[in-house]
Amino acid sequence: MSRSKKGAFILKETNYHHGDLRNTLIENGIELINAEGIGGFSLRKVAARCGVSHAAPYSHFKDVQELLAAMADHVTTRFTDSLERSIEGDYVPQEAMNRLGTAYIAFFQHHPAYFPFLFFQSGITIRIDGDTEGEPPYPPFAVFRKTGIRLFRSQGLPESMDDKMLLAFWSLVHGVASLLSSSGIRYSGDWQEVWQTILQSGGNTHENDRA
């Protein structure tokens, strides 16, 4: 089953025994969280899904937290891509900001298990401060910043307010996402409708303009 010629069929990653166990673990781990929630996750289940022994992951991650962090990085990339796609096109700043919020909420509406995983279990660090030199910014927040700055400048908001206004907007969409991701919350209405109500009633985090 493992001839020497097999090297011709290698994937792009290292392929010693398994082929690409590291990425396989990350993908199966994410699938497991989607299937069973963060509470149903275990290192041994992921290993079993990948068809390897329970200790095999330790050749690629020093502990379960490191695997979770790699999974969170992967999900965060998908999340950021989803936000980026939502503002493709030539929207006016206000419209782009609204679409960003809609995409943010929709992402967690489609994957409720990602919310507690990303923000309470993954162990990843999210840097908001602009003053910590060298630290890479949190990609989803960077998308917010890019779009928000464009909006704020078009409205004459002083730059000193940028960070606080961005955090205010983020808090708003994050709050909707948080509530709809909470397992125990029962609401018969539509969260996107709540979000539309917010957009239409002055909760759009900038000064009271009347469009």
Residues binding a second copy (CB under 8 A): 38-39, 115-116, 119-129, 131-132, 161, 163-165, 167-168, 170-179, 181-189, 193-194, 197-198, 201-208, 210
Least CB distance to a second copy at residue 195 (A): 8
Return the structure tokens found at 147.
């779009």
Return the structure tokens found at 17.
């025994």
Q: CA-to-CA distance for 137 and 199, rounded, in angstroms?
A: 27
Q: Which of the stretches 17-25, 73-81, 85-93, 191-199 binds DNA when contact is defined by CB under 7 A?
A: 17-25
Q: Do residues 162 and 168 lie in contact, with contact meaning Cβ atoms separated by under 8 Å?
A: no
Among a second copy, DNA, none, residue 198 binds (CB under 5-8 Å by kind): a second copy
53 binds DNA (CB under 7 A): yes
Q: Do residues 204 and 166 lie in contact, with contact meaning Cβ atoms separated by under 8 Å?
A: no
Q: Do residues 199 and 98 lie in contact, with contact meaning Cβ atoms separated by under 8 Å?
A: yes
Nearer to DNA, 18 or 150 (CB): 18
41 binds DNA (CB under 7 A): yes
Q: CA-to-CA distance for 155 and 53, rounded, in angstroms?
A: 58
The set of residues, in sequence order, having a beta carbon less than 8 Å from that of 151 and lying 6+ positions away, is 93, 94, 96, 97, 206
Nearer to DNA, 82 or 121 (CB): 121
Q: Do residues 204 and 198 lie in contact, with contact meaning Cβ atoms separated by under 8 Å?
A: yes
Least CB distance to DNA at residue 21 (A): 4
Q: Do residues 103 and 59 lie in contact, with contact meaning Cβ atoms separated by under 8 Å?
A: no
The set of residues, in sequence order, having a beta carbon less than 8 Å from that of 31 and lying 6+ positions away, is 49
Nearer to DNA, 41 or 107 (CB): 41
Residues of span 59-98 touching DNA by CB under 7 A: 59-60, 62-65
Least CB distance to DNA at residue 2 (A): 4
Q: In the complex, which residues of this chain contact DNA (CB under 7 A)?
A: 2, 4, 6-7, 10, 14-19, 21, 41-45, 52-56, 58-60, 62-65
